[in-house]
Amino acid sequence: MRQAFLPTTIHNLSVVDQLRERAEDILNEQSAKIEQEGGTIAEKHLRKAERYRAQQIVKVAEDIGAGLIVMGSRGLGGVRRVLMGSVSDLVVRHAHCPVLVVRPEKGQAA
């Protein structure tokens, strides 16, 4: 019998390391863009979450006393969002502070 593959579980450590490095690169690139435009970044947070992503985002925001959560959205349509769920929708509903959800520009992959 074949073992079921759970797409949210990653067992290959080199892949995990590569994903974390890429995530750190993206975080640093976006932070640099904000600073180039005159913005100030007080703190940056990067967490690996395989499950309960929305709850973990809300918890980190509460733990650090965040005044705003900024997060991306894949821009799924209404039916897909209902069927697959939406982390950003859950964060908006449960966060203690305002949430800014940024959608990808048209023609860009999410």
Residue 84 maps to which CATH number?
Answer: 3.40.50.620
Residues 91 and 55 in one domain: yes
10 or 1, higher pLDDT: 10
Residues 35 and 59 in one domain: no
Residues 100 and 61 in one domain: yes
When divided into structural domains, the chain yields a total of 2
44-74: per-residue pLDDT in tens?
Answer: 888 777 678 899 999 999 999 999 998 887 6
Q: Tell me the C-alpha distance between 57 and 43, whole Å.
A: 14
Q: Tell me the C-alpha distance between 15 and 80, whole Å.
A: 28
pLDDT at 10: 52
pLDDT at 36: 95
Q: Which domain holds residue 84?
A: 47-110
14-50: per-residue pLDDT in tens?
Answer: 887 888 899 899 999 999 999 999 998 888 888 777 6
Residues 38 and 51 in one domain: no
Beta strand ranges found along the chain (DSSP E): 69-72, 99-102
Residue 98 lies in a domain: yes
Q: Crossing angle for the helix pair 53-64 and 87-94, nearest 10 degrees?
A: 40
Query: What amino acid occupies position 104?
Result: P
pLDDT at 69: 92
